[in-house]
Amino acid sequence: MKHLIVLIFLFPLSMYGIGFDPHDREKIEVLSHFDIPANYLNDPYLHDVYAQKKRECALNGFVESSENADIFIPMLSSLIAQSDLPSEFLFVVLVESQLRVETTSSRGAAGLWQFMESTGKLQGLRVNKFVDERRDHIKSTRAAIAYLSTLKKEFGKWYLALIAYNCGDGRLRRAIAKAGSSDIHILTDPKRGFLPNESRNYIRKIVALSLLSTDELFLSQIQYDSLLTTNQENPIATVYLPEGENIDRIAAVLEMPKNNLVRLNTHLKKGVTPPNVQSYPVYIPKEKLDQFRQKFRTKELKGYFLLHRVKSGETLEQLSKRYNVPKTSIMMENMIGEKEEKNLNRRVRIPINKPFLKNTRLHTVKSGETLVSVAQLYNVTLEQIKIKNPFLTNTLKEGEEIKIDD
């Protein structure tokens, strides 16, 4: 089921006639995932929305950017799969934002899940002059999952949770009270007008796209056999950076276009991590994680480290004082978030400065020197120097220190 959901985002689809078989088990199962009765297949307005979505898909495909689909569909699928939400809730994002990462509605809703600022803050998303976490793809997805789960507990059915997500829980409660029923046929009947037109169309759009993903005849026109995949692994990795760290610098470390990194971090308004935060999450491609760990160092450190065997009860604060190294630098070196400090590995890498290097020969670069001339001076190979100085660039700077041997 999931692989079909993913595939229809990636290709324009041709059109077929509509009209649902009332005994179609797959479509009935999709409705059941939303707690919608099978006879909703007879809803004529659902047929209209379904036909409209087919036309749009045939003309334009399901998303504007296949690059965004490649990144965000696996991310969303992975996080949704870890929750109690049905897999079809992937389509909520498509209806909300079309996977446009920087989209803002006329009412001010922002991000993939289109949170209003007030609602986002209630869900724990920070919005200030440095960050807008409604645009944090990971945090906003987790917030949306938690919010929808809460609405499900309040109203008892997934389709009611989705309607409340769109129009607000207060508006839905008033509609149910006025209708004297929470039945989807009654609530979404345009002639009775218990819900705003936007909310009636909203739930039908999500259901229509979900039903479309089960249409074998519709999908048979696409050569998708070689693209089938059942595992949706999140392609985005989280790293924790200190305050004031610049996206430009991270992009340079990862040797990737800045725009590609910005697309993963649209929540950073100024392109830097916010001040007064010990460690802040920044997102990079998972395939770049090893490179990040090997090459990234905080600005004030030179790339030397030692391994510390952690004793029972030892804290990062204690290690910071012992080695005279900022706590945040130890967190960066070991990819430790603020909430993960209690579960330290048995061995922790301590990034250290010159005073802690024992029996180490260092060469201070003079004007005009090159890696070759330094290697010849100490009768060592270039490879030996590079192994001991993994963060050294080919262009040496006067005053730079090079580790020769331990």
The structure tokens listed for 250 are 């991270």
Whether residue 310 contacts residue 278, with contact meaning beta carbons closer than 8 Å, is answered with: no
Model pLDDT for residues 321-365, shown as the tens digit of each residue = 877 777 877 887 777 776 666 667 677 878 765 444 445 577 888
Whether residue 112 contacts residue 97, with contact meaning beta carbons closer than 8 Å, is answered with: yes
Query: What is the model's pTM?
Result: 0.71
Whether residue 386 contacts residue 392, with contact meaning beta carbons closer than 8 Å, is answered with: yes
pLDDT for residue 18 is more than 70 = no
Query: Quick one: which of 20, 23, 40, 38 has its CA closest to 188?
Result: 40
- Average of per-residue pLDDT across 254-279: 90
What is the spatial distance between Cα 334 and Cα 292, in angstroms, rounded to a whole number? Answer: 12
At the top level of CATH, which class does the domain 235-296 belong to?
alpha beta
Quickly name the fold that domain 361-405 has.
Membrane-bound Lytic Murein Transglycosylase D; Chain A (3.10.350)
Say how many C-beta atoms besides its own lie within 10 A of residue 333's C-beta: 20
pLDDT for residue 220 is more than 60 = no
Model pLDDT for residues 115-161, shown as the tens digit of each residue = 999 999 999 999 999 999 999 999 999 999 999 999 999 999 999 99
Quickly name the fold that domain 298-356 has.
Membrane-bound Lytic Murein Transglycosylase D; Chain A (3.10.350)
Residue recorded with tokens 């090997």:
294
One-letter-per-residue 3-state SS of the chain: CHHHHHHHHHCCCCCCCCCCCCCCHHHHHHHHHCCCCHHHHHCHHHHHHHHHHHHHHHHHCCCCCHHHHHHHHHHHHHHHHCCCCCHHHHHHHHHHHCCCCCCECCCCCECCCCECHHHHHHCCCCECCCEEHHHCHHHHHHHHHHHHHHHHHHHCCHHHHHHHHHHCHHHHHHHHHHHCCCCHHHHCCCCCCCCCHHHHHHHHHHHHHHHHCCCHHHHCCCCCHHHCCCCCCCCEEEEEECCCCEHHHHHHHHCCCHHHHHHHCCCECCCECCCCCCCEEEEEEHHHHHHHHHHCCCCCCCCEEEEEECCCCCCHHHHHHHHCCCHHHHHHHCCCCHHHCCCCCCEEEEEECHHHCCCCEEEECCCCCCHHHHHHHCCCCHHHHHHHCCCCCCCCCCCCEEEEEC
Q: Where are the domains of the chain?
A: 2-125+137-227, 235-296, 298-356, 361-405
pLDDT averaged over the chain? 82
The pLDDT value recorded for residue 300 is 56
Query: Quick one: which of 253, 299, 241, 250 has its CA closest to 393?
Result: 253
Residue recorded with tokens 């997500």:
165
- Average of per-residue pLDDT across 88-95: 92
Pairing verdict, β 347-352 and 304-309: antiparallel
pLDDT for residue 303 is more than 70 = no
End-to-end CA distance of the chain: 57
CATH-assigned architecture of domain 2-125+137-227: Orthogonal Bundle (1.10)
The pLDDT value recorded for residue 382 is 83
Examine domains 235-296 and 361-405 and report if their fold is the same.
yes
pLDDT for residue 230 is more than 50 = no
Distances, alpha carbon 384 to alpha carbons 68, 374, 379, 389, in Å:
42, 11, 10, 9
User: Quick one: what percent of the chain has pLDDT higher than 70?
Assistant: 81
